[in-house]
Structure 1
Amino acid sequence: MKAFRIPSLFRVATVAAALAIGGVAAHAQPGPGHHGGPGMMEAGFGGHMGPMGHMGHMLDVVNATDAQRSQIEAIFKAAQQDLAGQRDTGRKLHEQMAALFAAPNIDAAAIESLRAQISAQHETASKRMSQAMIEAARVLTPEQRAKIAEVMKKHQARMAARHPG
């Protein structure tokens, strides 16, 4: 069973933030045929590119000011600090889950209880990252968010062409 890792969440969150910053404008008034975007990893942005990851690249694309960059970096640093304690808790929950599945007798109630705890932890992290993405989106201008949405739409089209279905 793969452990829930906060650092991975933050690598993904930088991409999610780029999607959200661009997507806030796009999702507020979806165009014809819009059915929502792919998940963060489906968008093709796995990996890590330094402290701001792909977010830094997106901020380059929209010519973000130093002040905007500083604000956005502070927003995500605060979110990371808020969620730092969850890393050990998540690891322990997943270790407990693995032990339950390796036990001679399967305790369905205990497994369900742990699943609910893990799910609640993921929900807490998701809400906090969503809050950070909204805050970051508010730092950028509507034009900058629209530019990010345009870049992401083009990227998604390229990924769809490469990986149909």
Structure 2
Amino acid sequence: MKAFQIQNLLRVGTVAAALALGGVAAHAGGHGGHHKGGHAAMADGGMFGARMGHMLEIVNATDAQRSQIQAIFKAARQDLSGQREAGKKLHQQLATLYTATNIDAAAIESVRAQMSAQREAAAKRMSQASIEAARVLTPEQRARIGEVMKKRMARHADRRAG
């Protein structure tokens, strides 16, 4: 293999590793989604996303509802906090594998699968938290959030189309 091809392979591997770690970190560490109320963005697109505080304002959530929902997501973030360090280690393993003299496809696939499993576990935990939080709201409040989400999805679709 020519030196140029090896350099390109290393670049692609590094980018892939960075993207994979970014996903793990977003799920595990709650980054990228802190807004009013201090809640992490939902990676699974659940009812409670990055703008949860805003959503709770729209539905006129009571102080008791807000407190319960904040506690639910705080517990979920705490449950996932240990994944951040594990994600860093997987990223380091992947970077080492991509920069090795010989590329070990089976080892890279193994680390990729571990990263994927970690993201899936985080998404599942956040989905559980979202379900718990939805149960705190009334059916009318959930319906109002659903209306807002549909409007947002339509606006995003229009932007992509145009």
TM-score in same-fold range (> 0.5): yes
Q: Deviation at 1:17?
A: 8.6
AA paired with 1:21?
Answer: M
2:75 corresponds in structure 1 to 78
> TM-score, normalised on structure 1?
0.74
Where does structure 2 lack aligned partners over 5 or more consecutive residues?
1-16
Structure 1 residue 21 corresponds to structure 2 residue 24: no
Q: Number of matched residues?
A: 136
Alignment of 1:28-47 (within 5 A): none
Structure 1 residue 140 corresponds to structure 2 residue 137: yes
Tell me, in whole angstroms, the C-alpha distance in 1 between the residues paired with 2:127 and 2:32.
12
C-alpha contact (below 8 Å) 2:33/2:41 kept by paired residues? yes
C-alpha contact (below 8 Å) 1:93/1:118 kept by paired residues? yes
Alignment of 1:62-77 (within 5 A): 62-77=59-74
Where does structure 1 lack aligned partners over 5 or more consecutive residues?
23-39, 41-52
Which has the greater radius of gyration?
Answer: 2
> TM-score, normalised on structure 2?
0.75
Tell me, in whole angstroms, the C-alpha distance in 2 between the residues paired with 1:80 and 1:57.
19
Decide which moves more: 155-164 or 67-76: 155-164
Q: Deviation at 1:11?
A: 2.0
Tell me, in whole angstroms, the C-alpha distance in 1 between the residues paired with 2:150 and 2:126.
22
**RMSD, aligned α-carbons:** 2.4
Aligned with 1:16: secondary structure?
Answer: coil
The alpha-carbon distance between structure 1 residues 120 and 9, as it changes in their structure 2 partners (threshold 3 A), is farther
Question: Percent identical across equivalent pairs?
Answer: 62
Tell me, in whole angstroms, the C-alpha distance in 1 between the residues paired with 2:29 and 2:153.
25
Structure 1 residue 58 corresponds to structure 2 residue 55: yes
Structure 1 residue 99 corresponds to structure 2 residue 96: yes
Q: Deviation at 1:21?
A: 3.2
